[in-house]
A = this chain, B = another copy of it.
Amino acid sequence: MKKPSWLRKEYLRDIVFNADTPIGHRIDIAIIIAISISLIIMFVETLQGLHPVVKLVLEVLEMLLTLVFTIEYAARLYSAERPHSYAFSLWGVIDLIAVLPPYLTIVLPGARYMLMLRSIRFLRIFRIFRLFSFIDEGHMLLRAIGRSFRKIAVYFLFVFVLVLCLATLMYMIESGEPDSAFTDIGTSIYWAVTTLSTVGYGDITPVTFGGRMLSAFIMLLGYTLIAVPGGIVTASFINETNAPVRDGRCPRCGSKVRKNDRFCSQCGEKL
């Protein structure tokens, strides 16, 4: 007996994995809308004092969406060229986590597992990153960040060491005070990050004269430090933007381009 066409692996694969075919594109948009709705439901369910009827409607809606996601997961698993590698890939695991909790509530009854399962359910938020498969613009942004990656990493290491030193000094100064908010170095590190990043919640603040002077120094430092990643990324951006004009080379593949070329003749990059 011949399989119906929509059951053939190649056909399914086109639909669920390939957003370039017309039907695949439409299915992709439908899935993203379904994900968005399921996230909104998840968010609304955390509100306190919901009417029981609203709660019921949300739960039914969620069950339907879970069914849709289950079918999608099954289709992906069935049609994948290497089902094994999909199942254990990051996306495969996130897709599985997104559908599993409701079924587990049936298999593992009782309030004990309930809470943990509800908590795991929140991880489906990561499915929202699918959204980025639609955007071309992100490319240049990521490339500029990618180019600066090592410099930014070194910079972060420097900030991290600075945070450790400042947190330890503040603990030395402030922990002697009665009712000090600096109870341990972990708290002190949290405070140092809050201050250096100029967030400044104010839940932990210095009260001694020495502590306040050190804080003022840290803030002025943070003020200058905040400029450094900006300088790195901006320098990278300007190089990125100006490169084709200045040295007549494609910013992607490095091959020569002429002044009036609008696309690289070797790799098709838009100039």
Q: Does A233 contact B (CB under 8 A)?
A: yes
Q: Which residues A206-246 have CB closer than 8 A to chain B?
A: 209, 212-213, 215-216, 219-220, 222-224, 226-242, 245-246
Tell yes or no: A184 within 8 A of B by CB: yes
- Chain B residues within 8 Å of A43, by CB: 184-186
Residues of B close to A245: CB separation below 8 A: 246-247
Distance from A98 Cβ to chain B, minimum over Cβ atoms (Å): 13
Residues 232-271 of chain A, each 1 if its beta carbon lies under 8 Å from chain B, else 0: 1111111111100111000000000000000000000000
Q: How far is the CA of A193 from the CA of B223 in the complex (A)?
A: 10
Instruction: Please report A residues at the B interface, Cβ cutoff 8 Å.
Output: 39, 42-43, 46-48, 119, 122, 125-126, 128-129, 131-132, 135, 137-138, 140-141, 144-145, 150-159, 161, 164-165, 168-169, 171-172, 175, 183-187, 189-190, 193-203, 205, 209, 212-213, 215-216, 219-220, 222-224, 226-242, 245-247
